[in-house]
Amino acid sequence: MSRKPLIAMIFAAAVALVGCVTINVYFPEAAAQKAADQFIGNVLDESGVAPAANGSKAPPKPAAGKQPSASLLDLVIPKAMAAESPDIQVRSPETDAIRARMKARFGGPLKGLMDSGAVGFMNNGLVAVRDAGSLPLDQRSQASNTVRDENSDRDQLYAAIAKANGHPEWEPQIRKTFAAGWVERAPSGWYYQDASGAWKRK
Amino acid sequence: MLRVSTRPLVFVLLTWVALTWGGAAHAGLSIGADSLSVPGLAMTDMQADLDPQADGKGISLRLTAKKADMPALGWRKLGVALDGQLDRDELGRWIFDGRIRLRGAPGGALTDASVKIVADEAANTLAITINQDKALAEVALPIDQVTHAQITLKNLPAGWLQGLLSTAWSGHPTAGKVNADLALDLLDTGTQAAGQFALDGVGFETPGGAMAGQKISGSGRLGLDIGRDAATIDLDAALRGGEWLLGPLYASLPDHAVQLSLSARSQKGTLGVRRLRLTDPDALQLEGELGFDARGNLAQLRFDRFNARFPAAYERYGKGLVRSWGLSGLQANGEVAGHAEIGPDGPTAFAFQTGGLDLAMADGRLGVNGLRGSLDWSASEDRPTTKLGWRNLQVYRIPNGAAEGTWRSKGGTLALEKPMAIPVLDGDLRVLSLGWKPAAASGERLQTSLALTQIDMAAFSRAVGWPAFGGTLGGAVPSLRYIDDRVELGGGLSLNVFDGFVDITGMTLSRPFSDAPVLAGNIALRDLDLARMTSVFDFGSITGRLHGSIDDLRLVAWQPSAFKANLLADQGGRISQRAVNNLTSVGGGGIAGGLQGTVLKLFKTFGYRRIGLSCTLKGDVCSMGGLGAAKDGYTIVEGSGLPHLTVVGHQREVDWPTLVRRLQAATKGDGPTIQ
């Protein structure tokens, strides 16, 4: 005597009227590419290293087409080559792993070493111990290990990005771009090498 | 040592005095000289003034030189000023009393010191006493044998020895005070010294900082032989406190006395400790030798015997060495004894025995408790069989039970003599074979074959913090190799979960103990029961069977970085309203409105014929697909019966991080629902 079966029948009829139910699923669309120095910014910012002062950041550019990285690379890559300019933020599992390791390192021992000035950015895109004497004794052997590991990752990164672009021979340019990018993004107080190899404090 | 600096001066003075005493006793005399050179001393631009004292007692003497070199002390281009009275006492001794000022001496030595020189011809002795602040240096030597001297140093700033040390060593002292009682001999071939010494807060540093010491205090006996191209040192000392850094070796000494006995040779920047004996009663006793190259790197290490008690031995002596192996944060408890040898290319032999040792490293990712027994390995010779076992073993978060293995070193490989069973999560890990090559700096270091039986998946899931999967894990790994910090799995693992199978093949794990391990592999899914699976994930219920594959999977720090996934449920089943809700909420929510939405609410489940979804992840972008093309997209769910449900995906290039966030929200049950 319940009315439910009746209601159900009515609705079943309604469903039959409606016919097929189609649900549309809109997955989140992949975001457009971000700034050219995303890799460096990602490593430095997300590892807790204070971001550089606004003035020294790369000038924010309106999204200029699909290749924002071209602007920075124009400096080092001849025009002819820039026609197919490398995408320095190209990602692969290898660069993801390197980024994760660099983040862990900058979030850990490397930050202290950079802050104290014991380690600085070299002009070839690597890092180097510039003043071991300023470190407590128990941290020195670890500092040289940290620098060795970081450089091994950096060498791998530059080669991997060149390879992922399909142009292994671009590695020197990519290295130069990164060398400039690290210094540009570094917080003030960190040390870096100028073109002649002399250490300077940012 | 200081005698060298003053002795020639004294003789120069005495010569002048002897020459001038008779004739010019009462008239002032001034002598200038361009240069003067006697063995061990060269001076240029000299000026000497001799004036008789007003009271007739002795002579006032002033001597200056703009540049003085004393190579034996490592002193070059010093400014020298000597100023004082020279007299003869009633016993017939010559006495000079005055001040000496040096400019530019390494370590700021003798900037303004009082100096007293007593020459007693009858007793054949020359005694020099130098005082500055609290520092005192006394030198006594026979007049007829000036190459031999007795030296007493008290509170001498260690920095003053910088010049002398620079003749034999590239480093320099940085701080502290030195007391010593030494006999010193100047030979044609170099300098020898022997005697007692005491250090108080002494520091030293080499260029580049690879070797250094801070706040070193202690006392003992010292023998020093500085030759033309090599220096040897013999030391027997009791040291208290302070820190040492010798390349990768770092020691932080306790407040109680540590006995150190060594014989070392330094040549062209290299340092060889040919005899080393260290006794720290409650931490470490060892005997052996060490060698360092010119850059301060450890070139060779041999401990003929060591006995270490943890954690003190690690805290005081082990940190540096362990860190140089890429490990940090080692926690150790217990006692171990043995011997070890490391050459320039890595270890060449080691052996240890322990009655109980607990180790944990890599933030607890790898650990062992109750290690008992011994190992004996050599790169070049075969060694006898030993037994080594443990109470439990921790690999990542997975606890392993007690086991004991029989080990033997043959041809440089330390191998398991017979299979060993380790209880793991209610199941068994059988180690059928294992070979470890400790000497391999790169390439294949470890090779093993394993069999896993009846590992409880629920316990495994709990251990790694996953949702509680039911089922068991089993499989054979005919070859697991550790190559260049990468674990390679030959064969495959088969997980019997959700009433189906998950097969993992071609698995490698790179840098397993770093912050960002990289896992690669292929996964095949066979006949999984979707109902059981969805009940674990709290996504809503779907029934049916799931097949599929996840190929070229790359996990970086356990997060997906790339894969090609293909999931298909093609045997039909039912999908709950909640699952449909969640699917839509993952897709942005609020899709089915109006009459359709109202209708949907009436049904708890819907029939489906096929569900299919594919995702190829690269970077942050997942390229999605489904069962096939539909209007403006691809079909994900193909319904069956009434109401005929169709789910269509509309975005092919999908932002993976956002998708994961939405999935997480949905499986937590707080996702938006259909209105």
pLDDT at B155: 93
Backbone phi and psi for residue B511, each to the nearest 5 degrees, phi listed first: 45, 60
pLDDT (tens digit, 9 = 90+) per residue, A19-45?
A: 667 777 777 776 544 444 578 878 887
Residue-wise DSSP of B16-28 = HHHHHHTTTTTS-
| CB-CB contact of A146 with A109 (8 Å) | yes
Identity of the residue in A90, A100, A133 whose CB atom sits nearest the CB atom of B556? A100
Pairing status of strand B366-378 against strand B346-361: antiparallel
Q: How many CB atoms lie within 10 A of CB A96?
A: 22
Q: Using CB atoms and an 8 Å cut-off, which of residues 84-103 of chain A contact chain B? A: 90-94, 96-97, 100-101
Residue B201 CB burial class (10 angstroms; 0-12, 13-18, ≥19): middle
What integer is the mean pLDDT of A149-171? 89
One-letter identity of residue B266:
S
B353/B667 Cα distance (integer angstroms): 51
C-alpha distance from residue A188 to each of A195, B510, B560 (Å): 18, 35, 35
B647–A141 C-beta distance less than 8 A: no
Query: Is it the case that residue A61 has pLDDT exceeding 80?
Result: no
Q: Are A66 and A33 in contact (CB under 8 A)?
A: yes
**B6: Cα separation from own chain's centroid:** 46
Identify the pLDDT of residue B226.
Answer: 85
Q: Best residue in A113, A140, A148, A156 to probe B by mutation, most B CBs within 10 Å?
A: A140
Among positive and negative, which fits the CA dihedral B463, B465, B466, B469?
positive
Q: Tokens representing B497?
A: 């979960």
Return all residues near A9 (Cβ < 8 A) that are at least 6 apart.
none
Domain residue limits, chain B: 1-142, 168-344, 538-546+563-675
For the beta carbon of residue B165, count every other beta carbon within 10 angstroms: 20
Task: Please say whether the beta carbons of B155 and B183 come within 8 A.
Answer: no
Domain ranges of chain A: 34-201
Assigned token pair, B563: 């894969």
Chain B: residue whose CA lies nearest to A133: B209
Query: In degrees rounded to 5, what are phi and psi of residue B296?
Result: 85, 10
- Cβ pair A14:B516 closer than 8 A: no
Q: How many CB pairs under 8 A join A and B?
A: 174
* pLDDT tens digits for range B653-675: 888 888 888 887 777 644 333 32
Residue A14 confidence (pLDDT) above 90: no
Contact B602 A16 (CB under 8 A): no
Helices (H) and strands (E) in chain A, counts: 8, 5
Out of A28, A100, A137, name the one closest to residue B214 (CB): A137
Is A93 close to B624, i.e. CB distance below 8 A? no
ipTM score assigned to the predicted complex: 0.73
- What would the two tokens of residue A103 be? 């983040």
The 3-class SS string of A170-199 reads HHHHHHHHHHHHHHHHCCCCCEEECCCCCE
> Residue A110 in 3-state DSSP?
helix
Contact between residue B199 and residue B216 where contact means Cβ atoms under 8 Å apart: yes
Of the two residues A155 and A140, the one the predictor is more confident about is: A155
Q: Where are the beta strands (DSSP E) in B284-330?
A: 284-292, 298-310
The token pair that represents B106 in the structure block:
């390494």
CB proximity list for A163: less than 8 A, separation 6 or greater: none
pLDDT beneath 50, residues of chain B: 1-7, 18-25, 591, 594, 669-675
- Evaluate whether B424 touches B464 at the Cβ level (below 8 Å): no
Smallest CA-to-CA distance from B360 within B307, B388, B396 is with B396
B130, B152 contact by CB (below 8 A): no
Backbone dihedral region for residue B13 (phi beyond 0: left; psi -120 to 50: alpha; all else: beta): alpha
Smallest CA-to-CA distance from B152 within B141, B144, B163, B162 is with B141
The contacts of residue B183 (CB under 8 Å, 6+ apart) are B148, B149, B150, B151, B193, B194, B195
Compute the distance between CA of residue B372 and CA of residue A64 in angstroms, rounded to an integer: 66
Nearest to B591 among A23, A92, A141 (CB): A23
- Tell me the residue type at B50: L
Dihedral, B283, B285, B289, B292 alpha carbons, nearest 10: 10
Please tell me which of the candidates A16, A25, A138 has its beta carbon nearest to residue B649.
A25
At residue A16, the pLDDT reads: 55
Q: Are B407 and B416 in contact (CB under 8 A)?
A: yes
Is B415:B435 a contact under the CB 8 Å cutoff? yes
CB B216 within 8 A of CB B203: yes
Instruction: Tell me whether residues A100 and B557 touch, CB distance under 8 A.
Output: yes
Give chain A's mean pLDDT. Answer: 74
| φ, ψ at B488 (rounded to 5°) | -115, 130
Distance CA B26, CA B54 (A): 9
Residue A53 has a pLDDT of 43
Question: What residues 7-36 of chain A have any CB closer than 8 A to a CB of chain B?
Answer: 8, 11-12, 14-16, 18-31
What is the structure's pLDDT at B33?
Answer: 80
With beta carbons under 8 A apart, name residues in chain A contacting B208: 132
Q: Which of B602, B622, B662 to mutate to test the interface with A (most CBs of A within 10 A)?
A: B602
How far apart are the C-alpha atoms of B131 and B447, rounded to whole Å? 68
First to last CA, chain B: 95
| Alpha carbon distance B55, B69 (integer Å) | 36
Interface test with A, best of B252, B555, B644, B675 (most A CBs within 10 A): B644
Q: What would the mean pLDDT of A167-186 be, rounded to a whole number?
A: 88
Q: For position B562, what pLDDT does the model report?
A: 92
- Dihedral Cα A188, A192, A194, A200, nearest 10 deg: 60
- Cα–Cα distance for residue pair B503/B573, rounded to 1 Å: 24
